[in-house]
Amino acid sequence: MVKLLGAGQKGRTEQRHFRNISLAIARTIELKTNITFKAQGEHHWCDCESESHKEFWDAILRNFENGDAPPTLITFNYDLSLERSLHNAIQRRNLKKHQPSIRSYSIDYGLGEKHLYDAQLRFLMINGQKQPLIKPLKNARTDDESHLSIKLYKLHGSLSFASNHDDVFFESKAAEEPNICPPVFNKKTDKDLQKIWVKATNALSECKNLHFCGYSLPQTDVYMNYFIKAGVGPNTKLSRVYVFDILNTSDSNALSDLKERYLQCFSPQLQNRIHFMNLPEENDTTPGSFMHLAEFISKHPKPRFTSIADIM
């Protein structure tokens, strides 16, 4: 990482410095992920996934099959765990059905275009094991009831967003030079990211239920406080706000500070709708964790899970 950052070199422009920091962050994240992207020739697949991601997507797909629109997801994370585990979840679910309910899917990043993928069961034998393949589609009926459309707004960019717009885009594969915005830099300097922020703000203004996961709303993040207020302020449909954070079970001072920060971020008429989740659905689940959120939406579909903006 020191080599990537080029510490000590003089005369480096701010743009070069930004690029090297972004590369260092991107490569570190990709090395640490437990859901990897693999390729053999023109065939692509994702290997391994966490139990929490399985639970999360299984709940969303089950609700979709029952006629519920999928939630809007908003995240600060650059990694591709959500995209990779989504494909595995669709293939795993279709494998159990004689007539698959999801034949194609797309992820809308808020950039003005959707990238379509085939959800039909296609396998490749790798080291004696069947791997479900990811196959891009050029055309698909997005208005068909068997098409799943996921809105995923990544506020700080993504490892799959290529800085060079001429590069081939593939949602589950990290770009050579990804377009990500480290939090130390201005969050809206990039035109593509500006589009995402606008879409995310609109999602907050229209959601009925809002779930926060793993975000403690620090006072130093003035920009995020403004973003949430700008989105939620005009929302007349907001019914509940759920906060999943490990601080929910911490000592009284830390929890009191967390609650105070959230209360200050919402208007007085909304403050009594905020619920700090500290009792998981399963005894062995860490309270306030991503698994806690996944189990919650699995056990409580309607009416609590009609719409979601999930900041992870």
- Give me the domain span that covers residue 197: 49-113+149-310
**Per-residue model confidence (pLDDT) at position 200:** 93
**Per-residue model confidence (pLDDT) at position 72:** 93
Sequence-distant (≥ 6) Cβ neighbours of residue 295 within 8 angstroms: 55, 280, 281, 282, 285
Whether 34 is covered by a domain: the verdict is no
**Per-residue model confidence (pLDDT) at position 302:** 57
pLDDT along the chain (312 residues), means of 10: 41 66 74 68 65 90 87 90 85 72 84 68 67 64 79 88 64 76 60 88 91 88 87 89 84 85 90 87 80 86 46 45
Whether 137 is covered by a domain: the verdict is no
Q: 106 pairs with which residues across the strands?
A: 116, 149
Q: Is 144 exposed, middle or buried (0-12, 13-18, 19+ CB in 10 A)?
A: exposed
Token pair 């509940």 is found at 240
* Closest CA relative to residue 157, chosen from 88, 258, 79, 90: 79
Whether 190 is covered by a domain: the verdict is yes
Whether 219 is covered by a domain: the verdict is yes
Whether 93 is covered by a domain: the verdict is yes
- Between strands 147-154 and 104-108, the pairing is parallel
Retrieve residue 17's tokens: 């410095």
- CA dist list (Å): 168 to 84, 109, 152, 162, 198: 17, 16, 19, 8, 25
- Residue 45 · residue 134 · CB < 8 Å: yes
Whether 227 is covered by a domain: the verdict is yes
- Residue 63 · residue 299 · CB < 8 Å: no
Question: How many domains does the chain contain in total?
Answer: 1
**Per-residue model confidence (pLDDT) at position 5:** 39
Whether 242 is covered by a domain: the verdict is yes
- Residue 210 · residue 238 · CB < 8 Å: yes
Whether 18 is covered by a domain: the verdict is no
What is the DSSP annotation of 17-78?
HHHHHHHHHHHHHHHH-SSEEEEETTEEEEE---HHHHHHHHHHHHHHHTTPPPPEEEE---
- Residue 277 · residue 42 · CB < 8 Å: no
Question: Full-prediction pTM beyond 0.85?
Answer: no
Asked if residue 303 has a cis previous peptide bond (ω within 30° of 0), the answer is: yes
